[in-house]
Structures are given as C-alpha cells and as structure tokens.
Copies of this chain bind each other. A is one copy, B any other.
C-alpha cells in the first residue's frame, strides 16, 4: 500500500435532503466533518448508501464543489463517479480529478445486463483516456447484488495492466468473501475494500486495505478502532461485536435505517428523509430498531454520545 492510497474504514456518506427533497450541502458537510473526526479513512461520498443514483450528475457535482469549498480535504474524498452513460461518467470523473480528490469509486454502467468484459473494458478505458489526469486514482465498484453488472477477475486484471498507475483498487460489495479473497490474492498491491465490516478483520489479515461500509455512517468509531488495532489481542471480539451490530441493522432496509439512526443521533429529524424509490422508515420501525440496538448494547450509536456532537445550528 502506498502513501497516496486510501486505507482504513471509509464511509459512503449518507446524503441529507430537505423537505422538498433537494440535497442539503450544509448538513452533508457537517456529517463529513464528524466522520473525519471519528477516524474515517476516507469519505466515499456518492455511493449506494448516499443514494447517489437518485441524484442528477449536476447535483452530485454541486455537492462536491460545496464540500471542497467548505474545507473538506479533497484527498479525503473518494466520490462515486460511475454512470450508465460514458459521457456522464467522464464529466463526473473529470470534475473529481480537477478537484484533486484522493480517488473515485466507479460503478460499471448498470442498465444493460450481461455486458461483456470487452465492452466494460472499453467503457473504463474511454473514461480514463478522456479524463487524462495523471493524478486520477480509480477504485472499481463491484456490487453485483445491486448493479447486476460486475467485474470479473479477468476484467480487473486487464484494467490494472492497461492503467497500472490509475486503476488502484476495488470495493467488493458482492458479499462473497471468496471473491474478495481471490481479488486480494490475485492482485498484490491492489487496494481491496470489502463492502461490509463483517469482513473487516478477515480482510485485513488477508491483505485488504480496510472496508467501505454503509453502517460506518453510524458505527464508525468502533470500526475505526478495530481497523487500527486489528493485530492486537481482542480483535476477534471487536469483530464479533461489529458484526452483531451490522446484522441487527441489516434486519431493516439499510439506507432508511442508517438515516433514521443519524436523525436520532444528530437530533435532526430531517436526516430521516430519503428520495423515492426509497420510503422512510416508519416511526414504529424506528422505535423497534432503536430498542433492538439499545438492548444489544449499541445504544451509543443512537446518540448516547450526542453531547459531543455539534448541534444542527
């Protein structure tokens, strides 16, 4: 792993919306600051958890402009810049590169299914060639349960070979540890991030760079602690606890649940707002989730530590 690579626990930062569903750049900036203070290894804004594909390309770029202008370090940002359209992927990636972002996380084009490796290689090649930035660092985003289109080992290898200084890592949200392990083993020096903290410790032991996880929006402190101390005694217990918390939240629709927890934790009900096609978690479900978390000993992520959190004002 080199100095200019991301490592540790990265957060696919949730995107806050106003009552009229417009993105709220101020609230997003505040959450980004808190997450960096809590030990985030990077901010993977505009990911799946961020409802990025529920935003227009213009909305994504305006939010990124705001974050940078507000002082969030560009090197800490790994914005999602994938799109179904190569035109939009180029525009988003160039915009991120021009800002000096530490990297970008790129979905494959995900409308047409059964895309060939040759077609996907051509897509990524065109983005990288068109952006033509020496500082660009691309992390591939493999999430077949959602995108349906993914990255085969062969495609990953072809992209690394063609763009060794640019294609430097991958987020694996397949949920398939055998795939994650295969990518780590096949491509030494490649920065692999499992898409869930469930694989954080196994990943680090196998040579991964950390993880990028939805639930890091709400459980970052514990995960960052594990990522810092994974070689020490007790790491297995920390992992077991982190996994329990994750599984509990996964009992609910994850994105609305993460936003409901943020609303509670930050004392700001507006955080519960989601864009359709998502529905916000109903009040009784929020109460049930909160009760489950408290009973399982995870009450702190609901804001027991809220005293240390700046108010929305």
Binding site for B on A (CB under 8 A): 21, 48, 53-57, 59, 83-88, 91, 108-113, 115-116, 118-120, 122-123, 126, 145-149, 275-279
A279: which of B91, B118, B149, B279 is its contact (CB, 8 Å)? B118
A272: shortest Cβ distance to chain B, in Å?
A: 15
Nearest B-chain residue to A113, judged by Cβ: B146
A277: which of B91, B119, B146 is its contact (CB, 8 Å)? B119
- Cα distance, A91 to B148, chains bound together (Å): 27
Q: Give the copy number.
A: 2
Query: In the complex where A110-B111, A111-B110, A111-B146 touch, is A277 in contact with B55 (Cβ < 8 A)?
Result: no
A112: which of B109, B123, B277 is its contact (CB, 8 Å)? B277
A138: shortest Cβ distance to chain B, in Å?
A: 15
Whether the pair A56, B148 counts as a contact (CB closer than 8 A) is no
Majority-rule SS of A interface residues? loop
Whether the pair A59, B87 counts as a contact (CB closer than 8 A) is yes
The residues of B that contact A278 with a CB separation of less than 8 Å are 112, 115, 119
Nearest B-chain residue to A116, judged by Cβ: B279
Query: In the complex where A56-B57, A112-B146, A146-B113 touch, is A120 in contact with B87 (Cβ < 8 A)?
Result: no
Whether the pair A145, B113 counts as a contact (CB closer than 8 A) is yes
The residues of B that contact A115 with a CB separation of less than 8 Å are 277-278
- Cα distance, A149 to B54, chains bound together (Å): 15
- Cα distance, A14 to B279, chains bound together (Å): 35
A86: which of B87, B112, B119, B275 is its contact (CB, 8 Å)? B275
A25: shortest Cβ distance to chain B, in Å?
A: 15
The residues of B that contact A119 with a CB separation of less than 8 Å are 276-279
Whether the pair A91, B276 counts as a contact (CB closer than 8 A) is no
A260: shortest Cβ distance to chain B, in Å?
A: 15
Whether the pair B112, A53 counts as a contact (CB closer than 8 A) is yes
Whether the pair A277, B116 counts as a contact (CB closer than 8 A) is yes
Whether the pair B276, A86 counts as a contact (CB closer than 8 A) is yes
A129: shortest Cβ distance to chain B, in Å?
A: 12
The residues of B that contact A146 with a CB separation of less than 8 Å are 111-113
- Cα distance, A113 to B56, chains bound together (Å): 19
The residues of B that contact A111 with a CB separation of less than 8 Å are 48, 53-54, 110, 146-147
The residues of B that contact A86 with a CB separation of less than 8 Å are 21, 54, 275-276
- Cα distance, A155 to B146, chains bound together (Å): 22
A22: shortest Cβ distance to chain B, in Å?
A: 9
Q: A53-B109, A54-B109, A56-B91 are in contact. List 16 more A-B contacts (CB 8 A).
A: A21-B86, A48-B111, A53-B84, A53-B111, A54-B85, A54-B111, A56-B57, A110-B110, A111-B147, A112-B277, A113-B145, A115-B278, A122-B277, A122-B279, A123-B276, A149-B277
